[in-house]
């Protein structure tokens, strides 16, 4: 633990890697040590800004995160980059690629880059990433970026562990409105249109269409800002409203405007109390989610359940046994286990 | 059980009411009897068409269901109407009103109307409604309509227990795009614009906007029908594609067209196998949902959990204990119960 909290850069880096490896271990004794370590580190966590970044493959996440990371280091920050790669939880493969990404950032002493845990359920991977984030915070990284690919439930997982969730889009998103998924837009605090320099018109159209979709989904309410009285306008100003920004990570254009928006978000959310309440709510939801997962796991691995399940599934599927009766029988068998 | 399956109308009606009251009872011995009854009735179920109907208060659900019910009875059908009223699960009150609704339909011998169970969680109410549906099917009602108010999770519950899910809209929906909720549109097999006679232009606008929203949400793909080859067009014709219909329940206009669309849906879904697979999947999902609910219930009512929970919630909320550690501690205490 001391190694994580202080020491020279090389010693600390090794201690962080060792701590995260411990967290990722599936051995029960390691897990007990990991719990002890986390509890000890916890008072030293929470001082960073937690930034989630998502986008489909090819949107330029790595390029953007590298440019942003170098920009932040130049401004005196220390930056940790963690990754949740949903593909690794299915195939052991990787959409996000290996450690050779972000070559410039990875050699920086003030940056720490850790790829996704390479196996386990998404819930398990998300838990380990969440815990790795705490280790990085305790080690003094004041910006923690959690990256994920815009597929499936991994976006929700990342949004639920960060202070701000950024969705990256390509300028041709406007050609395919179906790419604007409501579920993701609801999570987004900020939408970034990357590669905006390739086609300025397409980028403008994409921005207009994303804003229109946000209004359609009820995520942005322009009427509130425009038509209400001063008191309500003042209240409106105290809340963050999702924004859309254009930039070009490859040409390092718009990164300063991006960070200015992030800081505006952070200041507003700190002042109106939402940063703190979001973190508290995230911790409690996380606890309940892990409990639900654990309850299901215990049920499905209960030999009494396993013995009954195949026959009951068949009977329910064939319409010979009411689903609710089957559920009650299984729950009753599970409750009577020693 | 015999009374449910046969006998004169009055005897059968009393037997159905008695069976449903038994299902709704919270007494453990009643529950055991109910399970026995359901299992015995199950071979006699599944022959009806299960139609879910949802819409906000004021959209005209009762008027429509009454007109539809009378139309079906005149065509020789027997119609059961069940209701899931989400307000009753919260307040004991009722958005949907009492039994005095549908006065003409309720006096028909070939109609059976049963209001929502008056208390319990939404999951519990949905379970009892699902079971009441089976009782009505065994009693020979060949159209079962399950009605709900367009709020919260009750729409999902109804969609998950019916063969076809219909969403009713008002013609002024076009004025308020936010009323078109993606989650509900994803569930809808058919959208009905009621009161279309009040303002024909508004109804046309509403229809266009609902269709546009369906395309935006990726629920309807016109391109597929228009631009592909014949083989794909033929396959397209074998699938149901959500439709939008205008009608006026109050003036009994469009009810025949509505039922024709329902029959088209039923024939397509029967031919392509989706009616059967949807029912099988509903039964299995229902079983797993009841299991999840039961596991959570057992956890939250475990005295060992109750003793630890307040302190752990506080520590997790305050950031003094990792959420995952708290979850593991609680699960471990729960697993060790006798």
Residue B281: CB atoms within 10 A of its CB come to 13
Mean pLDDT of A315-333: 91
Kindly tell me if the per-residue pLDDT of B311 is higher than 50. yes
Q: What span, in angstroms and rounded, lies between the C-alpha atoms of A285 and A53? A: 21
Q: Cβ contact (<8 Å) for A322 and B35?
A: yes
Mean pLDDT of all residues in chain B?
86
> What confidence category does residue B174 fall into, taking pLDDT thresholds of 50, 70 and 90?
very low
Residues from chain A contacting residue B316 (CB–CB below 8 Å): 283-284, 287
What pLDDT was estimated at residue A123? 78
Q: Cβ contact (<8 Å) for A283 and B46?
A: no
B243: left (phi over 0), alpha (psi -120 to 50) or beta: beta
Residue B248 pairs with which residues in a beta bridge? B253
**Which residues have a Cβ under 8 Å from the Cβ of A94 and sit 6 or more positions away?**
A85, A87, A88, A115, A116, A118
The vertex-A263 CA angle with A258 and A268, nearest 5°, equals 130
Kindly tell me if the per-residue pLDDT of B234 is higher than 50. yes
Q: Using CA coordinates, name the residue in chain A closest to B220.
A: A178
Kindly tell me if the per-residue pLDDT of A120 is higher than 90. no
Which residue is it, tokens 């059967």?
A: B276
The vertex-A301 CA angle with A296 and A303, nearest 5°, equals 130
Q: What span, in angstroms and rounded, lies between the C-alpha atoms of B113 and B105? A: 8
Residues from chain A contacting residue B35 (CB–CB below 8 Å): 322, 324-325, 328
What SS3 string covers A144-197? EEEEEECCCCHHHHHHCCCCEEEEEECHHHHHCHHHCCHHHHHHCCEEEECCCC
Kindly tell me if the per-residue pLDDT of A221 is higher than 70. no
User: Do the beta carbons of residue A169 and residue A214 sit within 8 Å?
Assistant: no
Residues from chain B contacting residue A335 (CB–CB below 8 Å): 298
> What confidence category does residue B184 fall into, taking pLDDT thresholds of 50, 70 and 90?
confident
Kindly tell me if the per-residue pLDDT of A114 is higher than 70. yes
Q: How far is CA B266 from CA B48, B116, B162, B259, in A?
A: 11, 26, 12, 10
Q: How far is CA A241 from CA A189, A228, A235, B177, in A?
A: 7, 16, 12, 19
Q: Cβ contact (<8 Å) for B216 and A217?
A: no
**pLDDT, tens digit, for every residue of A132-157?**
999 999 999 999 999 998 766 888 88
Mean pLDDT of A239-255: 93
pLDDT greater at residue A221 or residue B240? B240
What pLDDT was estimated at residue A178? 44
Residues from chain B contacting residue A48 (CB–CB below 8 Å): none
**Which residues have a Cβ under 8 Å from the Cβ of A66 and sit 6 or more positions away?**
A101, A102, A103, A104, A105
CA of A12 vs chain B CAs: smallest distance (Å)? 22
Q: Give the range among A128-137, A327-336, B85-94, B118-127 with minimum mean pLDDT.
A: B85-94
What pLDDT was estimated at residue A7? 74
User: Which pTM does this prediction carry?
Assistant: 0.71
What pLDDT was estimated at residue B92? 46
What pLDDT was estimated at residue A100? 54
Kindly tell me if the per-residue pLDDT of B185 is higher than 60. yes
Q: Give the range among A6-10, A254-258, B40-44, B154-158 with minimum mean pLDDT.
A: A6-10
| Percent of the residues in chain A that have a pLDDT greater than 70, as a whole number | 85
What pLDDT was estimated at residue A282? 93
What pLDDT was estimated at residue B273? 94
Of residues B42, B279, B330, nearest to A291 (C-beta): B330
What pLDDT was estimated at residue B315? 93
Mean pLDDT of B164-168: 95
CA of B93 vs chain A CAs: smallest distance (Å)? 26
Q: Cβ contact (<8 Å) for B295 and A295?
A: yes
Which residue is it, tokens 């051995």?
A: A27
Mean pLDDT of B85-101: 56
Q: Cβ contact (<8 Å) for A38 and B322?
A: yes
Residue A137: CB atoms within 10 A of its CB come to 21
Q: Give the range among B55-69, B89-103, B105-119, B132-146 with minimum mean pLDDT.
A: B89-103
Kindly tell me if the per-residue pLDDT of A91 is higher than 70. no
Q: Give the range among A135-149, A313-327, B80-94 with minimum mean pLDDT.
A: B80-94
Q: Give the range among A116-130, B50-64, B87-101, B192-206 with minimum mean pLDDT.
A: B87-101
Q: What span, in angstroms and rounded, lies between the C-alpha atoms of A54 and B223? A: 29
Q: Cβ contact (<8 Å) for A178 and B323?
A: no
Residue A230: CB atoms within 10 A of its CB come to 7
Q: Cβ contact (<8 Å) for A323 and B283?
A: yes
Mean pLDDT of A85-99: 55
What pLDDT was estimated at residue B223? 46
**Among B30-34, B213-217, B304-308, which range has the highest average pLDDT?**
B304-308
Q: Give the range among A20-24, A200-204, B5-9, B14-18 with minimum mean pLDDT.
A: B5-9
B108-133 burial by CB neighbour count: b if 16+ within 10 A, else e? bebbbbbbbbeebebbbbbbbbbbbb
CA of A338 vs chain B CAs: smallest distance (Å)? 6
What pLDDT was estimated at residue A224? 47
Quick check: ipTM above 0.85?
Answer: no
Residues from chain B contacting residue A315 (CB–CB below 8 Å): none
Per the document, the length of chain B is 338
Q: Give the range among B83-97, B208-222, B292-306 with minimum mean pLDDT.
A: B83-97
Kindly tell me if the per-residue pLDDT of A87 is higher than 50. yes
Of A152, A150, A151, A158, residue with least CA distance to A126: A158
What pLDDT was estimated at residue A259? 97
CA of B337 vs chain A CAs: smallest distance (Å)? 8
**Which residues have a Cβ under 8 Å from the Cβ of A7 and sit 6 or more positions away?**
A15
Tell me which of A46, A181, A287 to substitute to probe the interface with B (most B C-beta atoms closer than 10 Å).
A287
Structure tokens belonging to residue A243: 């924004």
What pLDDT was estimated at residue B57? 81
Mean pLDDT of B221-233: 55
Structure tokens belonging to residue B163: 């063969």
Q: Cβ contact (<8 Å) for B294 and A331?
A: yes
User: Do the beta carbons of residue A170 and residue A150 sit within 8 Å?
Assistant: no
Mean pLDDT of all residues in chain A?
86
Q: Using CA coordinates, name the residue in chain B closest to A277.
A: B317
User: Do the beta carbons of residue B173 and residue B180 sit within 8 Å?
Assistant: yes
Q: Cβ contact (<8 Å) for A295 and B299?
A: yes
Of B249, B244, B278, B209, residue with least CA distance to B104: B249
Quickly count helices (H) and strands (E) in chain B: 16, 7
| Percent of the residues in chain B that have a pLDDT greater than 90, as a whole number | 51
Q: How far is CA B57 from CA A219, B97, B232, in A?
A: 24, 10, 41
Q: What span, in angstroms and rounded, lies between the C-alpha atoms of B42 and B44? A: 5
Residue B318: CB atoms within 10 A of its CB come to 11
**pLDDT, tens digit, for every residue of B108-159?**
999 999 987 766 778 778 888 999 999 999 999 999 999 998 766 888 889 9
Which residue is it, tokens 């506080």?
A: B314
Residues from chain B contacting residue A325 (CB–CB below 8 Å): 35, 38-39
Which residue is it, tokens 């009494």?
A: A304
Kindly tell me if the per-residue pLDDT of A94 is higher than 60. no
Q: Cβ contact (<8 Å) for B46 and A319?
A: yes
User: Do the beta carbons of residue B192 and residue B184 sit within 8 Å?
Assistant: no
**Which residues have a Cβ under 8 Å from the Cβ of B188 and sit 6 or more positions away?**
B165, B166, B167, B242
Q: Cβ contact (<8 Å) for B131 and A331?
A: no
Q: How far is CA B280 from CA A317, A323, B125, B226, in A?
A: 5, 10, 21, 33
């Amino acid at each position: 633990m001391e190694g994580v909290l202080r020491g020279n850069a090389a010693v600390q880096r090794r201690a962080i890697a060792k701590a995260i490896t411990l967290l990722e271990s599936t051995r029960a004794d390691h897990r007990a040590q990991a719990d002890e370590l986390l509890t000890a580190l916890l008072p030293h966590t929470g001082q960073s800004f937690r930034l989630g970044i998502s986008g489909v493959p090819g949107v330029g996440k790595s390029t953007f995160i590298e440019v942003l990371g170098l920009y932040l280091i130049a401004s005196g920050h220390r930056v940790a980059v963690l990754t949740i790669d949903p593909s690794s939880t299915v195939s052991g493969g990787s959409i996000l690629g290996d450690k050779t990404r972000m070559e410039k950032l990875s050699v920086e002493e003030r940056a720490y880059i850790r790829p996704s845990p390479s196996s386990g359920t998404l819930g398990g991977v998300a838990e380990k990433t969440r815990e790795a984030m705490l280790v990085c915070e305790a080690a003094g990284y004041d910006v923690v970026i959690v990256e994920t690919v815009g597929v499936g439930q991994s976006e929700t997982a990342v949004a639920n562990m960060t202070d701000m969730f950024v969705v990256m889009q390509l300028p041709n998103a406007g050609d395919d409105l179906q790419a604007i998924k409501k579920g993701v837009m609801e999570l987004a605090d900020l939408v970034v249109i990357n590669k905006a320099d390739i086609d300025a018109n397409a980028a403008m159209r994409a921005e207009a269409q994303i804003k229109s979709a946000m209004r359609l989904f009820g995520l942005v309410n322009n009427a509130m800002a425009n038509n209400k009285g001063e008191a309500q306008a003042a209240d409106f100003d105290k809340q963050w409203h999702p924004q859309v920004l254009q930039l070009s990570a490859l040409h390092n254009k718009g990164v300063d405007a991006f960070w200015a928006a992030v800081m505006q978000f952070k200041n507003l959310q700190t002042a109106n109390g939402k940063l703190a309440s979001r973190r508290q709510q995230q911790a409690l939801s996380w606890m309940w989610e892990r409990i639900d997962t654990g309850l299901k796991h215990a049920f499905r691995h209960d030999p009494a359940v396993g013995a009954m399940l195949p026959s009951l599934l068949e009977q329910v599927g064939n319409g010979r046994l009411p689903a609710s009766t089957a559920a009650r029988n299984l729950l009753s068998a599970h409750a009577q286990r020693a």
